[in-house]
Amino acid sequence: MRSPRAFSVAPMLERTDRHFRYLFRQISERALLYTEMVVDRAILRGDRERLLAHREEEHPLALQIAAREPEEAARAARLALPYGFDEINLNVGCPSEKSQALGIGAVLFREPERVAAIVRAIHEETGVLPTVKHRIGLDGDEGYAPLARFVERVAESGARVFVVHARKALLSLSTRKNREIPPLRHDLVHRLKADFPELTIVTNGGIQTLDEVLFHLEKVDGVMVGRAAFEDPWRFAELDARVFGQSRRPDRCQVARAMLAYLEEELNRGTPGRAVLKPLIPLFRGTRGARAWRRTLTEGPPTPKTLLAALARVECP
């Protein structure tokens, strides 16, 4: 029996919004999904309904927050409790200039005691023990020791789940380049699980296929996939069968029709149709009619009629 964390989709800004999550849930019932990163101060001072609201169908669903001050993180987590997330995850991996300026994200890798304090504060305030997502190192860090030291110190707070992006963060590079230039070192994450068998360790970074997912699951408790899931969601259509041993295998046309009903509901709620259609664009990637599907969705008005027209361009009975 594999862990419920065996497969998750990474939090991605402007990608893993509620519309993408609803689409991916039609493909997999078991994948753990994450929100986009939300800064704790936005929860404290902003439109919480817009930031945190989601459909019941999206579960299991984790809220990822970014924070620096333990007290503010704890207050934000308490305000998020009524929304019923299955997990609260702390971002210690974002290398963006904005995150650096706020002292959140990847820069906290140098402050494991502060990360531990945030974990404790959230737990004491809400009863929820947050998980931690982080890099294998920062800037000049080399080898395994910095990673093990960070995990060991944060684990003293009670944290038991560590999601590890198997690249260093280089603070002089852009966010995009930080996803490409630092080399992947999944071997360090594998070693981490061997050295800390009592912890749940999830590896993340550059994983493209279910074959790769299954390879890493021989070494760690879970695998997190990022851009591949957004850019080609149907690549993971056999996820529930191959990773979780379920007999269910989704049908691509049925998924598209489920999104038709979803689009109609969202339009009635005042949601911009373009936002709903965006994650659908790559659904038929690699199939006959895929180009016509994409063109119809992007060039036509964001309406159910357009989605029906796109469906007519692909091989759906």
pLDDT in tens, 5-33: 999 999 999 999 999 999 999 999 999 99
Q: Based on the residue annotation, tell me whether 253 is a catalytic residue of this protein.
A: no
Rounded CA separation 48/207 (Å): 32
In whole angstroms, give the CA distance from residue 145 to residue 166: 14
Residue 130 has pLDDT above 90, yes or no: yes
The answer to whether 56 touches 83, Cβ cutoff 8 Å, is no
Per annotation, catalytic residue among 62, 74, 94, 283: 94
Q: Tens digits of per-residue pLDDT, 181-233?
A: 889 999 999 999 999 999 999 999 999 999 999 999 999 999 999 999 999 99
Could you give the domains of the chain? 7-238 (3.20.20.70), 252-311 (1.20.120.1460)
Whole-Å CA distances, 236 to 105, 200, 213: 29, 23, 10
Q: What confidence score (pLDDT) does residue 25 get?
A: 98
Fill in the amino acid letter for 51: L
Cis peptide before 146 (omega within 30 of 0): no
Distance (Å, rounded) from C-alpha 33 to C-alpha 118?
A: 22
- Give bridge partners of residue 165 from the DSSP assignment: 135, 204
Task: Determine how β-strand 222-225 pairs with β-strand 131-138.
Answer: unpaired
Does pLDDT of 135 surpass 80?
A: yes
Percent of the chain with pLDDT over 70: 100
Residue 267 has pLDDT above 90, yes or no: yes
Q: Which of 165, 155, 167 is nearest to 199 (CA)?
A: 155
Determine the distance from the C-alpha atom of residue 315 to the mean position of all C-alpha atoms in its chain, rounded to a whole number. Answer: 31
Cα-Cα-Cα-Cα torsion 300, 231, 247, 202, nearest 10 degrees, comes to -150
In this prediction, residue 275 carries a pLDDT of 97
pLDDT at 249: 86
pLDDT at residue 229 in the model: 98
The answer to whether the beta carbons of residues 59 and 83 sit under 8 Å apart is no
What is the overall mean pLDDT for the chain? 96
